[in-house]
Chain A
Amino acid sequence: MRKDVLIAGFGGQGVLLAGNLLSYAAIDEGKNVSYFPAYGVEKRGGSATCTVVIADGAVGSPVVGQPSVLVVLNQASLERFGARVRPGGILIVNSSLVDVSALGRSDINVVPVAMNDIATDLGDPRMVNMVALGAYVALTDAVQLPSLVAALSQALPERNHRFIPANVKAIETGAEAAMAKKEA
């Protein structure tokens, strides 16, 4: 088993935290993982991406040219990476902010999830990354949902542990939303 995902958005959307959380969960499941971040010098804004590879055997390249799954949180990331998704792969897109109509790819499975709307409904738009991650895990089984929930205490600094219940809810809601789209 070797799974790779590129998560991309703008700085401040929690892309790196999402990648970290996924990696912690995979490590707790005994898998091999590489997490490779790339981001601008800005604290907010600019581009933020991370590539996570999860494997039973050797991870190999932490750099992925054609990800099997791309999660895009903003329009710029779709334009930059949309063409790169491996044929037959999955594009999970934050349809609250991103318009995929001009993408022109019929060879991949596009799953729109209104991540910002869902996160806002749950009380905080900043949980958009958790909604995205829930959707990713539901669609790919890269890790088990309970592993992701259990890893929150490792990925978040202690001062933010009080937000764990809300984040769990965001992960679960993202997962449900993605499954509903998949079945639709």
Chain B
Amino acid sequence: MLSLNARDFQLLLFVAAITMLAPIFLNPFPVDSSLAQFNGGYPDLMQRFVIFGIFAIGFNILFGLTGYLSFGHAAFLGAGSYAAIWMMKLLTMNIIPAIILSIIVAGLFSLAVGFISLRRSGIYFSILTLAFAQMSYSLAYSVLTPITGGETGLQPKLNDPRILDGELAAGETARANLFGLEMGSSYDLAVGGWVFTFNVGYYIAAICMLLAFYASIRIFRSPFGLMLRAVKSNQNRLGYTGVSTRPYTLAAFVISGMYAGVAGGLMVAMDTQAGAERMFWTASGEVVLMTILGGAGTLIGPVLGAGMIKYMENIISKINTTILEAWFAWAPDGLQDVLVSVIYPFVGKGWHLTLGLVFMLVVIFLPGGLMEGFEKIGGLFSRKKGKNSDSVAGSASPAAAE
């Protein structure tokens, strides 16, 4: 089916089902329950899950297959964002031209950076990509302010030209849309105590992610993918056999740069704002962490890693003392204070601490990332299932062994 083998097709169907039903299972708690805090099924976070999922899938094509560790991929996401927002300011609020231009710009930018950086390997390559990304960030934040908006970034304004859209009616704001279908519009489904939000923007982003995921499976299973893995396992030997690896690695680099461009364009489509911070080295580092956390070289691991980090950033950081006190209202006074003061350093403003601990725990106990954890759990319940996900994971073990 779709030129995939049965297992890959099952995986694709599984991912499709999960993304389509995400608004439901991400909201497992009734709205008025005290655990509603943990619900992640609101449009912004769901959109971020899939957008960063795309970013990480693309990064994994480079890092997971070839082993080249880029520390500058956020620059491509940022360049894509700027391209998209300019399209929205100058041409139309329709997201299609914006996303197309963001892919082109990110692709060209990554071609230039990749062409230079891939002349070196290992850590030298990493530092070259880092240098390009940091330069982009620094310049975008300062001297390029007329183009990038600098500190305040770019947003659509009332007096933007928007040639194709025509004048805004009085009192109307420019909104990102797909032929009139606005990204912000949603349908709420209330079932008993639960409310599920189905958001247009999320489904558009989710379809993009499914396409991206499908393309990534095809690349993983193609002769091209095989060649990339060969680069990872022994580049020298490939050289001896007369194969020039540079075109392959460059292609992988540009493909992953274009994935970053899609992610950047979608970010602007979902939330019309572009700023320089998304090119800072910590943003590049974040996608590296997402990929490793989920399981580098596995098909679905990076998406899980992206989800995990974004979930912690958006959910754990919002838990404050008032919420903690409400949770432990059942406990006697003294005990309540103790519980609150024990948990408080790990939530709210301490969410970074939890994040750091999770990184350490995962990498110490699950060398293959979260995917390995799922395999282990799967293995506990059914031998067959375990085998199945093993093959799904594809090159999980080579990744761990480098």
Is the pairing of A and B real? no
